[in-house]
Chain A
Amino acid sequence: MKSRSGRLFRIFGHAVRALADQKGKTILMMLGTAVGIMLLTGVVGLSRGVEKRIEEVMAFMGPRSGMVFAGGGRLQSAGARAGSGSTLKLQDVETLRNKLSDRAVFSATLRREGVQVKYEGQAWETAVFAVDPDFPIVSDWAIAAGEPLDYHDEKSLARSCLIGATVARNLMIEDDPLGKKILINRIPFTVKGVLEAKGTNTMGMDMDDCVWTPLSTGMRRIFHATSIRMVRFKVREGYSIPEVREEVERILKEAHKIKEGEEIDFTIRTPDFIAKRIMEMTRTARLVGYSLAIVALLVGGIVLMNILLLSVSERVPEIGLKRAVGATANDIFLEFIMESVSVSVLGMLLGIILGFIPLLLLPRLMPMLPMAFSFKSLTYGFIFSAAVGIFFGVQPAKRASRLTPIEALR
């Protein structure tokens, strides 16, 4: 058996050698596969980019969470526009809680960047969140030390706060933060607890660079607001997110007295909805990409087949000679199939390299298209190019192997 495989290797080596000896033909035969695999690499990259963007959205929002923004209209993605007015009231959150607390947890949030915090000589600019007591549940955020903000803090407009690890470090109170009095916008707050460190999120933001105050205190003293911009919610296990989303929409429409056909003054975003939007936005591009790749592979395969057929008729004397010195019909078949598969796998390698062109270029031309390199394109590329090589190589290889020695030597 060892000798058999040795023989296969020798024939394979000879097939590759034949390709090297006929560079012009080889390049022509490679071209179709190369273009096909280039397109395939691009479109697989696009699909991977879409997946990645959806994963980011999921990670950012939490897979079971949703957001309600003040203001209607078409938001491209979460937080792209914070709504035009203050159409969300605290009363809306109460209404949602009263009707849906069995299915979801709601939390009103206000957020502002670039607020100055101070402790003794140390100053730092950070993001301040005014949050109600359910916010840790909704955002999956635990307390690392101290106590959470509770309903008592909320009711009494307590000047207590929770700080993130980055803030603690920059105010140099990370060794013993609890009970320290810090200034937020020059108003004194007592540090009641430290938030669990979350590190950097997928967008590169430092999640630990924040301070939380009770919602009531924050609205009154920092945001000077009477309405809210956003309500976050988290659907409880066992309930469907799209259903809860529909309920939220129905209840808010009723509360805002919006009649059938009128434009709504709030926007609900859930990760599955955003994922759907991203998929829809890229569907055409993916469809066109896959179709072009398949057409290119087919056309490339047909070109490969025809050049190989030409090569077979040019090499009839060579085939005759090989049959005379002991090649079996099967050896001749294998030799040409190996040429065909090798050439299309070579085309694949070229295609993968060329595939970096759409991967690098498209995001520049169309920034909304998410692109990412995926090793899947290697797997797919190999499978598709080998399939093209075998499928379109069979006919030329058969023709070559069916020549009898005397026909070929004539």
Chain B
Amino acid sequence: MIELRGVKKTYYTEGKETPVLFGIDFKIEEGDYTAIMAPSGTGKSTLLNILGTLDKPTEGKYLFRNRDLTELSDDELSRMRNKSIGFVFQLFNLLGRVSVLENVLLPLLYAETYPKEARERALRLLDMVGLGDRVHFKPNALSGGQQQRVAIARALINEPDLLLADEPTGNLDSMSSEEILQIFDEIHRKGRTIVVVTHERDVALRADKIITMKDGRVFSEERTR
């Protein structure tokens, strides 16, 4: 479903070149649960931003269902994110001034068409992550683990092709982390493609495949089972 071919990224600031990615190649198949393991400072965030179409590679191709995303305009990429990608961030990134339910519905604000059953879908997702009784709470009334579960429901509201998670358990205690990872397992069982970026080995081990990065290159690819 996803293929990176020779993806390079170089930042230019004040005339200085800072290469971050030196040519990344890998494939992710439909329904795969993949972990990208990388210590901090190895271009992990940059790779994630490129996978999420938040940033464009300097060189190389990013094929998403055989479509080269590097040729798309900013507006087309926005539409792509809206329709096909769901994000889960390390810091949850919920909108504090609106309710849990409205947070989940947020991506639909920018959808081409607003599904009639949007509200039911959001409630179903909140039920799935165990927050069916908190839909009218404000995010700051919830624990970190609960907030991350809201973020997962939000990432799934558009029924995206790809769920992209950036250190989803990085700010959580081990119990909450386990809850989140179990939800990921369940989402995976239902057939959705998941990419988790992490530097924690036990988080990566939950995936089918681990891609390890080192110094802006793919160091190894291994199957966990």
Contact = CB atoms under 8 A, between A and B. Distances in A.
Contact of B98 (A7, A17, A331): A17
B74 A321 contact: no
A326 B55 contact: no
Nearest to B87: A324
A95 interface: no
Contacts of B112: 3-4, 7
A350 interface: no
B110 A328 contact: yes
B110 A330 contact: no
Contact of A324 (B52, B74, B109, B158): B52
Contacts of B78: 323, 326-329, 331
B109 A11 contact: yes
Contacts of B87: 324-325
B81 interface: yes
Chain B, interface size category, equals: 20 to 34
B1 interface: no
Contact of A325 (B97, B98, B107): B107
A318 B111 contact: no
Nearest to B73: A328
Given A317-B93, A321-B93, A326 B110 contact: yes
Interface in A167-198: none
Given A21-B98, A406-B49, A324 B113 contact: no
A6 interface: yes
B106 A322 contact: yes
Contacts of A327: 78, 82, 109-110
Interface string B50-79: 001011000000000000000000110011
B154 A325 contact: yes
Contacts of A404: 55
Nearest to B112: A3
Nearest to A409: B54
Contacts, number: 79
A124 B108 CA distance: 80
Contacts of B82: 325-327
B111 A7 contact: yes
Contacts of B54: 323-324, 405-406, 409
Identify which of B78, B83, B95, B111 gathers the most chain A CB atoms within 10 Å of its CB: B78
Given A328-B75, A405-B54, A406-B54, A6 B93 contact: no
Interface string B77-108: 01101110001010001010110000000111
Interface string B105-148: 01111111110000000000000000000000000000000000
B83 A326 contact: yes
A399 interface: no
- Interface of A (DSSP majority class): helix
Interface in A292-331: 317-318, 320-331
Contact of B107 (A320, A326, A328): A326
Interface string B148-188: 00000010001000000000000000000000000000000
A17 B98 CA distance: 9
B52 A21 contact: no
A250 interface: no
B114 A6 contact: yes
Contact of B55 (A14, A318, A325, A406): A406
A325 B75 contact: no
A10 interface: yes
A317 B91 CA distance: 11
Contact of B106 (A21, A325, A409): A325
Contact of B81 (A17, A21, A318, A325): A325
B81 A326 contact: yes
Nearest to A4: B112
Identify which of A3, A325, A329, A406 gathers the most chain B CB atoms within 10 Å of its CB: A325
B44 to A, nearest CB: 13
Contacts of B114: 3, 6-7, 10
Contacts of B111: 7, 326
A79 to B, nearest CB: 65
Contacts of A320: 93
A328 B74 contact: yes
Contacts of B109: 7, 10-11, 14, 322, 327
B110 A7 contact: yes
Interface string A329-341: 1110000000000
Nearest to A326: B82
A317 B90 CA distance: 13
B151 to A, nearest CB: 10
B110 A321 contact: no
A8 to B, nearest CB: 11
A356 to B, nearest CB: 34
A405 to B, nearest CB: 4
Contacts of B81: 324-326
B113 A322 contact: no
Contacts of B49: 405-406
B99 to A, nearest CB: 11
Interface in B171-210: none
A10 B87 CA distance: 21
B139 to A, nearest CB: 12
Contacts of B93: 317, 320-321, 324, 409
Interface of A: 3-4, 6-7, 10-11, 14, 17-18, 21-22, 317-318, 320-331, 404-406, 409
19 contacts: A4-B112, A6-B114, A10-B108, A10-B114, A321-B106, A322-B106, A322-B109, A323-B54, A324-B54, A325-B106, A326-B81, A326-B111, A327-B82, A328-B74, A328-B78, A329-B78, A404-B55, A406-B54, A406-B55
Q: Which 7 A-B pairs have the closest CB atoms?
A: A326-B82, A325-B107, A21-B97, A328-B78, A405-B54, A326-B110, A3-B113
